[in-house]
Structure 1
């Protein structure tokens, strides 16, 4: 069984900034940020609020113009990104360990007591016990709910009634990150990160269709050998690109289950991009752009070093990243130049920014929800 509790000291990005990795008793001081002359006009359109996010591994989910979020204490809300108003809001009744997954009809979260809870339009439809702790937001697709457990189990439930359909158990390394992992669907294939491998499953019965290794365990102890594929991936057709924690970035042809390429990369957050480029943030705060075709580095930016950056969002001509002071940086996709800088409540950006319709949505650790739009 994987030791999730032991890994928690590594997870959520916390340990990357302690003295053990940086050779000192405190994290390095970020460089001062100079003023930014806005190249792209952006205005704050609205704000909303949910409970404290803290270190909940939150996946902010988007369905059209609906944004679904959750707080650590178990509040779940669907928000209209056009106005910032609630479409519905619900209280689970206990703290969460993972969320949020939704297909617009069903919304799923996992509690600290290992309960999968599914809501229908804000009302609890059912809950089912899980056999392991879970830190990855459930995937809701095809009238099913898929759960990736911290013990590297993958389980499918019927979304309407909660019946367990199948379970697939995989061996793995003894430590697991308390962080959102890779769980998505491409066509009729369910794709999950299992240690350093991207694995394609038949969603009907859980059988394995293919495995594609992006990284292998390395080192002499369990901490050094820890390798996981992280949430927030970049998909273009059958091509899915992902990051392996502190190891690599790579792309897989999911129609055949073959690795297109991998490149060494030392990041702890997912990646984003389009058909031409990929973007990621390294553990030291460097922002890097790679060519999607072969992984060649296009540019890097070190002016945000040591700021605990989120995974990026590619939005038009901008690469959007949040940091631990609550700032949101808009960088040029072409060369990383600063295009604008947005402010929130100063508590730190809790999850990768998302785009819902014409609105950029940012959630902070104190539970602030901000909607920004171009001027």
Structure 2
């Protein structure tokens, strides 16, 4: 209950500190049409009132609804591989390795599934808004009290827990938790840590986002979901603080730049892409962090975290548009509509298919040519 109240306080305080009226969105930019994108299929999962991040493995994509539907789809066709109703609200998910999948319910239970059936349930002692990580025959969970817990993938038995001191307020959105070679990377406040996935022993911790401001809300800092990995380099965002890249093996900070966004990033071998909280899109040089270009044509449109494609970088927005910007200079190449409701979570790439999920539960598959 304490963590639930604190999470609500964080959200309400942030809302109260914002402008009384939402700024008017920028006019939709003219697209060049230099990119052809084909809509392949459309299906439904049910209403998604909070971002539930899909899980991708090869050409499979797992999606979930707030009311408790979980479906694993063939990204090429949009057809169900299997679908399951958990009869419980879902708070975070989906995590999966292609065989086993896991979500966290509104009752603070980790639910593991395989082939359309529930394998086990595990009750957490704290809230979690981060999708579980399913890897190496284990399920890893990051909770709001800065604890990482490892569960046996077959039985749900707890294997270990590692925790750091928590902050007075928590961020009510997905944090950073991901496998990295033979390690597990986890965000603890403004720090990124590398853990031994077998024992939970911390190998290193690096500060990426420093707390600042005059009150607890302004000082709130945490690592957010959505990173760019290339070789041993990991680039990530600290909430309303910075974007930074580091060596994922040693934890050495390569560069850090002040940034005011709250969504994750993505990147390629040259650039890191992300959006500021006003939806201004920024591209940073991967090698040194210098700003390569900015695009203000989507300001105040509530854009999502990006996903990098072959020729473009794609963002969803609050009105159900999917925007395709040039990776080279941010020019608007193409724009497609979905069902008019907000794109939830971030777009994901399954094979060659871009998959987006909307607030009303629409699931759409697009193929950029």
Q: Do both share a fold (TM > 0.5)?
A: yes
Aligned equivalents of 2:352, 2:231: Cα separation in 1: 23
Q: Which residue of 2 aligns with 1:43?
A: 38
**Conserved in 2, the CA contact under 8 Å of 1:48 and 1:368?**
yes
Q: Which residue of 1 aligns with 2:28?
A: 33
Q: What's the CA shift for 1:60?
A: 1.1
Q: 2:85 matched to 1:91?
A: yes
Aligned equivalents of 1:114, 1:270: Cα separation in 2: 24
Alignment RMSD (CA, Å): 1.5
Aligned equivalents of 2:2, 2:269: Cα separation in 1: 36
Q: What's the CA shift for 1:2?
A: 7.2
Q: Which residue of 2 aligns with 1:7?
A: 7
Decide which of 12, 18, 21 is 2:18's aligned counterpart. 21
**Conserved in 1, the CA contact under 8 Å of 2:234 and 2:246?**
yes
1:331-350 pair list within 5 angstroms: 331-350=325-344
Q: Which residue of 2 aligns with 1:310?
A: 304
Aligned equivalents of 2:201, 2:147: Cα separation in 1: 13
Decide which of 120, 136, 145 is 1:142's aligned counterpart. 136
Aligned equivalents of 2:298, 2:223: Cα separation in 1: 24
**Conserved in 2, the CA contact under 8 Å of 1:19 and 1:27?**
no
Q: Which residue of 1 aligns with 2:237?
A: 243
Q: What's the CA shift for 1:4?
A: 4.4
Q: Which residue of 2 aligns with 1:295?
A: 289
Aligned equivalents of 2:247, 2:210: Cα separation in 1: 19
**What is the CA deviation profile of residues 252-304 of structure 1, one whole-angstrom value per residue up to 9, with x for unaligned ones?**
10111111111000001000001211000000010000001111000000111
Q: What's the CA shift for 1:5?
A: 3.1
Aligned equivalents of 1:9, 1:349: Cα separation in 2: 25
Aligned equivalents of 1:237, 1:321: Cα separation in 2: 24
Q: Secondary structure at the match of 1:350?
A: strand
Q: Secondary structure at the match of 2:346?
A: coil
Q: What's the CA shift for 1:9?
A: 5.7
Q: What's the CA shift for 1:229?
A: 0.3
Tell me which moved more, 31-40 or 224-233.
Answer: 31-40
Q: Secondary structure at the match of 1:330?
A: strand
Q: Secondary structure at the match of 1:352?
A: strand
**Conserved in 1, the CA contact under 8 Å of 2:9 and 2:169?**
no
Q: Secondary structure at the match of 1:5?
A: helix
**Conserved in 2, the CA contact under 8 Å of 1:308 and 1:324?**
yes
Q: Which residue of 2 aligns with 1:82?
A: 76
Query: Normalized against structure 2, the TM-score is what?
Result: 0.97
Q: Which residue of 1 aligns with 2:108?
A: 114
298 and 35 in structure 1: CA distance in 2 versus 1, 3 angstrom threshold: closer
Q: 2:190 matched to 1:193?
A: no
| Structure 2, unaligned runs of 5 or more | none
Q: What's the CA shift for 1:218?
A: 1.5
Q: What's the CA shift for 1:70?
A: 0.5
**Conserved in 1, the CA contact under 8 Å of 2:127 and 2:143?**
yes
Q: Which residue of 1 aligns with 2:316?
A: 322
Q: What's the CA shift for 1:240?
A: 0.6
Aligned equivalents of 2:164, 2:41: Cα separation in 1: 44
**Conserved in 2, the CA contact under 8 Å of 1:227 and 1:247?**
yes
**Conserved in 2, the CA contact under 8 Å of 1:2 and 1:172?**
no
**Conserved in 1, the CA contact under 8 Å of 2:6 and 2:168?**
no
Structure 1's consecutive aligned runs of 4 or more residues displaced over 6 angstroms after TM superposition are none
**Conserved in 2, the CA contact under 8 Å of 1:105 and 1:120?**
yes
247 and 34 in structure 1: CA distance in 2 versus 1, 3 angstrom threshold: closer
**What is the CA deviation profile of residues 37-85 of structure 1, one whole-angstrom value per residue up to 9, with x for unaligned ones?**
4111111100010010012x31111100000011111110000001000
Q: Which residue of 1 aligns with 2:359?
A: 365
267 and 34 in structure 1: CA distance in 2 versus 1, 3 angstrom threshold: closer
Number of aligned residue pairs: 369
